[in-house]
Structure 1
């Protein structure tokens, strides 16, 4: 590769690196129990935001032994995807360490996507807010400790 080709790529890498580092060091990054303790959600940096996927379920399979699928999704093309491993959180904007707003959270139980905010509580739990218009509900997720 010639120097003129390397410089734009290096500049882009250096410009984006602080964003990834900011998300990686953020207290929302980690693995969390959902409020019912039926699933764990792993939140990781993704681009300049954070994303979360279902990384563990207490009952990942149906009675016949096949994986539970996203059958409640309003998009028929997505109804066959497995719930375990599915990304359900994304698109957030960082406000300050431990506080992310204007993202989305998908609920496979009802197949709907909600506007969402994430914030670390003083006790180290995660406040997860889901909103429709101006009506919001909040869940408290506990960190998974090993």
Structure 2
């Protein structure tokens, strides 16, 4: 499977959780997370009363065919299709849905679509990310890459 596809799958079934009021504690989603495949790092931060996630590192940051930085070329909006993958916002409207759980939307750079997602804190350095696309559901665990 190409690296971009693995990265996109990780993003599609990705996110995080923990109380916003206690966002700097060990059980918080705030910080940098390494995807289960180890091919991307996502910076999670507070955005008002929601949480945001942005790509900050890729194992393969350049397109092997062009040698240029990876871009959001599957985005159906032409004005967004050239934006770099590093710095790409992934999460929107991710809000508390219960104790240590958030629900909202995640952007899938593989097809330019935005999908529903749920995230929960699985431990001080583990984030359980789950999501569905149609009838296909799955999940993975991300690990804290730094504080």
Alpha-carbon offset, residue 134 of structure 1:
5.8
In the alignment, structure 2 segments of 5+ residues that lack a partner are 1-19
Q: Quick check: 1:72–1:109 contact (8 Å CA) kept in 2?
A: yes
More relative contact order, 1 or 2 (CA 8 Å, 6+ apart): 2
Alpha-carbon offset, residue 41 of structure 1:
0.3
SS at structure 1 position matched to 2:37: coil
SS at structure 2 position matched to 1:90: strand
1:124 matched to 2:125? The reply is: yes
Q: Quick check: 2:74–2:112 contact (8 Å CA) kept in 1?
A: yes
After TM superposition, which residue ranges in structure 1, 4 or more long, deviate above 4 angstroms? none
After superposition, residues 1-146 of structure 1 pair within 5 angstroms as 22=21, 24-25=23-24, 27-63=28-64, 64-96=66-98, 98-101=100-103, 103-122=104-123, 124-133=125-134, 135-145=136-146
Closer/same/farther in 2, CA of residues 44 and 66 from structure 1, 3 Å limit: same
More helix by share: 1
Give TM-score, length-normalised by structure 1: 0.74
Closer/same/farther in 2, CA of residues 44 and 75 from structure 1, 3 Å limit: same
Q: Quick check: 1:60–1:68 contact (8 Å CA) kept in 2?
A: yes
SS at structure 1 position matched to 2:140: strand
Alpha-carbon offset, residue 138 of structure 1:
1.1
Closer/same/farther in 2, CA of residues 133 and 62 from structure 1, 3 Å limit: closer
Distance 1:33 1:48 in 2: 24
* Cα root mean square deviation, aligned: 2.4
Closer/same/farther in 2, CA of residues 111 and 81 from structure 1, 3 Å limit: same
Q: Quick check: 2:33–2:144 contact (8 Å CA) kept in 1?
A: yes
SS at structure 1 position matched to 2:21: helix
Equivalent pairs, count: 126
* Structure number, greater radius of gyration: 1
Alpha-carbon offset, residue 80 of structure 1:
0.8
In the alignment, structure 1 segments of 5+ residues that lack a partner are 1-20
Give TM-score, length-normalised by structure 2: 0.74
